Amino acid sequence: MQKAQKGFTLIELVVVIVLLGILGVTAIGKYQDLATQAQDAANQGVASEMSAASAINYAASTLGVGTATAVTGTPTCSNAALGYLFASGTTPSEFTVAGTPAACAGAGTTSSCTVAGSGTPAGATATVTLLCTG
């Protein structure tokens, strides 16, 4: 009478471990760049919010409704100068607004600045489009 086998052989265990290792290595490649993509998405989000707020500011200026902020001459691309575009009155501290924008050529023309996050890793910058009011 032969005994029934209980458990796994050493070869079977080694094969399973090797297969799990191969799966792990392929999965790491897919998820390795997520931090950079998250920083880029955050930059894009803040830039889009500023661009939308600039469009609302332009509409308020054009219609003479509310208290619009004049965007004339050459806009200043800095956190302090563009803080009015946020409800809090200040640009989020994790982001830096910079750049050398083009001078406004009249109402409805555009100028642009760049937004970069201070997070790690440093992501790509995003562009803010400012609508000139005059």
Instruction: Report how far Cα 103 is from the mean position of its chain's Cα atoms.
Output: 26
* Most distant CA pair in the chain, distance: 99
Number of alpha carbons in the 13 Å side-chain half-sphere of residue 111: 23
Structural domain span for residue 50:
35-131
The pLDDT-based confidence of 14 (bands split at 50, 70, 90) is: very high
Structural domain includes residue 42: yes
Number of alpha carbons in the 13 Å side-chain half-sphere of residue 82: 33
**DSSP H/E element including 26:** helix 10-31
Structural domain includes residue 7: no
Higher-confidence position of 82 and 134? 82
Structurally, how many domains does the chain consist of? 1
Mean pLDDT of all residues in 47-76: 88
With a cut of 90, say whether residue 119 has pLDDT above it: no
pLDDT of residue 19: 95
Beta bridge partners of 114: 98, 127
Structural domain includes residue 86: yes
Structural domain includes residue 112: yes
pTM of the model as a whole: 0.73
Query: Smallest Cα–Cα separation from 44: which of 98, 112, 110, 116?
Result: 116
